[in-house]
Amino acid sequence: MSVRIVRCPYCGKRFDIANVPAGTRLRCGSCRAVLSVPRAAEPAPRPISWRRAGVQIAAALVVSVGLGFGLYRLLRTSDDPKPAEKATASAPAAAPKPEPRKQPANPVYLDSNLRLMQLKLNLRQEFGFDQFRFKEDCRPFLVALERGERYSADVVIKDYAARLVELYDFFRREFSAALELPGIDDEVLPVLIFSSRESFDAYTRRVMEGEEHSPEIRGLYEPTRGRIVLYHDPMGPYEVILHEGTHQLVHYYTKRLSKGEAGSMTQWFHEGLGTYFEGFRRTGDGQILLDPARHRVRLPAVKQAITDPSRTYTPLKVLTGMTVDGWWSWFRKEQESDNLLATRKAQDFYAQSWALVYFLRSSGGNYRRAFDEYFRLELQGAGGKEGFEKAIRSHLDMDLHQLEQKFIDFVRKLE
């Protein structure tokens, strides 16, 4: 009995397609992708080359998806309620020139399942078929973990996926009602986890033209690619993915609500919100729960910045007006003169940003409403000092100086 083994280019499941005619369309029993059986080489006594078959299958599927999506867009934009009846009634010898179609008012998004398959195919083309293990049942995220000998990929990828789902649920509980944020069902958010710092550095050198990130940076969010990139650190695996996952969620909603238009983004808000979601605690039965109040790493730094003249406390009038680009420009200039001092100043800035977000969120009532109003401005690309002052005056009837006094008193009482 002859055997002819191929593997699905999306999930890697193997199939025996001996005696199945070439061109037959089959559905993968694992990921449900529709594949086309390739022609066997002549003579065909051996199993076909997986890589060649995968490329042929992927190319055919991409073309068919592209044609189907093009037809879908054409039908969606049609103004004729009964195009088939109209064509039958006229039936001219030569088809009439079609009238210009109106473009839809809102952007058309790919079906999330198609987007998921496209992302997996793109990552396999970028890194090779077997380098990463995928976990896709953690929507809206797609987690890709580099295979490694130092850990069980099944256990580690499940753990990371669970943290991301908890983050997504917590984020929506905090903000979806107040900001009217829809669920993410039209996009897939990729998360790339390398097996080691060495792999992470090799990747950053490739995408940054030979440069590397400093050792303090253990992960990042790439806005241009829309993906989180980090490496597995068994000593502290959660803070980084929770922080960068927050950036990814905020960036998604910013693109959606600002309709893709670039706007002002303040450093304190984005890094403060990222550090706000870093905090977590373990329950007695070993479960992980997100808890911003447990962020003990940031608290000592901000308390020292307030009380110790040798540390750097940034007044709110400066903190709330510093853009993302402006902050990084300042930080690089500080690094040139004293890298160690620049790092400590950056840590103080992040700690103070966390404390301001935590102060506004935990104080409740109008403090939360003021924060939510400013959050909406950030998502619309209209963040900045003036917008923050307006939100504070509107909901708290305070100016920045009055708010700062309450903020400092709040931090001093934290334990």
pLDDT of residue 286: 64
Question: Any idea how long the chain is?
Answer: 415
Q: What is the pLDDT of residue 10?
A: 53
Q: What is the pLDDT of residue 55?
A: 46
Assigned CATH topology for domain 125-257: Glutaredoxin (3.40.30)
Strand intervals (E) in 4-148: 5-7, 14-16, 25-27, 34-36, 132-138, 141-146
Strands 5-7 and 14-16: antiparallel
**pLDDT 10s per residue in the chain (415 long)?**
566 777 666 556 676 777 777 777 676 666 556 567 777 644 444 444 445 445 444 444 444 444 444 434 444 444 444 443 434 333 344 445 555 444 444 444 446 688 899 999 999 999 998 999 999 999 999 999 999 988 999 999 999 999 999 999 999 999 999 999 999 988 999 999 999 999 999 999 999 988 888 888 899 999 999 999 999 998 877 889 999 999 999 999 998 888 766 566 899 999 999 999 987 777 776 667 777 766 667 888 899 888 887 788 999 999 999 999 999 899 999 989 998 888 888 989 999 999 999 999 999 999 999 999 999 999 988 889 999 999 999 999 999 999 999 999 999 998 8
Burial (CB count <10 Å: 0-12, 13-18, 19+), residue 179: middle
CA distance 165 to 163: 6
pLDDT tens per residue, range 115-153: 899 999 999 999 998 999 999 999 999 999 999 988 999
> How far apart, in Å, are the Cα atoms of 268 and each of 3, 148, 226, 253, 319?
61, 36, 21, 18, 6
43: burial class by Cβ within 10 Å (0-12, 13-18, 19+)? exposed
CB-side neighbour CA atoms (13 Å) of 363 = 21
In the chain, where the domains are located:
5-81, 125-257, 270-415
User: How much is the pLDDT for 254?
Assistant: 92
